[in-house]
Amino acid sequence: MIITCPSGLQFHARTWNLGDQGSLIEASIDDSQNVAIRMLELATIPNGVVDPGPYSFKEGGNVSWGDVTQVDITTANLEIRKASNPLVPFHQACTRCGKLPEDQVYIDLRDLEVYPASEEGLNHIRTNVPANMSLIDSQGRSVTVKVKLLFGRDMAFLSRFQEQEQSRMLEIQAVASIASIEVPGESSPLTTFQDIREYWRQQSWEFGEAVEEKVDGMGGSVDTTVVFRCDDLSCHREQEVPLPLDEKFYGLSGRHKRRRLRASSATPSASIEKTTPEVSLPSPPDTPKPPILTSEA
């Protein structure tokens, strides 16, 4: 099959198979590897570039995923998963009380809309020069914000926050997309992640939306934000998180469950209840569909 990304990059790919399982396990436990990139490396057909788009790859050559934008990487993973099974299990703990929902829900990848990159974004990919924005900050100052797209090589940095600050990943991704902020009265632009994040948190919602819309327009977008409400009546908090490209997305957790069930049936003393994880693969097509939670497009 041919996968088309928001930037215009096109390449030949296959769906994941059982032979990829060992690499997925290794990537999921090795901090030096990124699961999303590793799974794309496995699925990409060698010398399979059909159209390099704005990248320096050659037609008929290979894709270097570290040099590809994260929205292209995310879209490619979603398209490959959709080709094999469009229903992705989602079983996210509440970011406030920590409780898991009683019922597992599924994200239907067929509901996601993909938007192409802008000409400004394509030029940024080619030249690596940030795009300028003029905004008014919370103190009424006219500031210059230089924004950039995130690439595969940036994923190692972002993954450090995945476990510690799951509920703030949208904020972290937005801050990481800012190359610098020039603030009147400051001796030098804000350039470090921590300085930009501290400044970001003091700004209005409109300020944040303007930056996020600029970045989305540049790189193109696929909205994988999942909106859900905590089941616990004492909490009942509505929240939104990005759909993680983790072992559950690739189906690994479900295979672990079936393997443990087989072991339990062969060993009477084993406890199925204790060995079965809470996440399973989507139901087969011939069974009734479970509840489906769609992401906001």
Confidence of residue 295 (pLDDT cuts 50, 70, 90): very low
Whole-angstrom Cα distance, residue 36 to residue 33? 9
pLDDT in tens, 176-220: 999 999 999 889 999 999 999 999 999 999 999 999 999 999 999
Residue 144 amino acid letter:
T
List C-alpha distances in Å: 206 to 135, 209, 228: 10, 5, 23
Q: Across the beta sheet with 2-4, what order do the strands follow?
A: 2-4, 10-13, 44-51
CB 146 within 8 A of CB 132: yes
pLDDT in tens, 24-73: 888 776 665 688 899 999 999 999 999 999 999 999 999 999 999 999 99
Stated pTM of the model: 0.74
Pick the CATH number of 118-219 from 3.30.2220, 2.40.380, 1.10.3470, 3.40.190: 3.30.2220
Which pair of structure tokens corresponds to residue 33?
């590897």
Share the mean pLDDT of the chain: 81
Residue-range domain boundaries for the chain: 2-114+224-275, 118-219
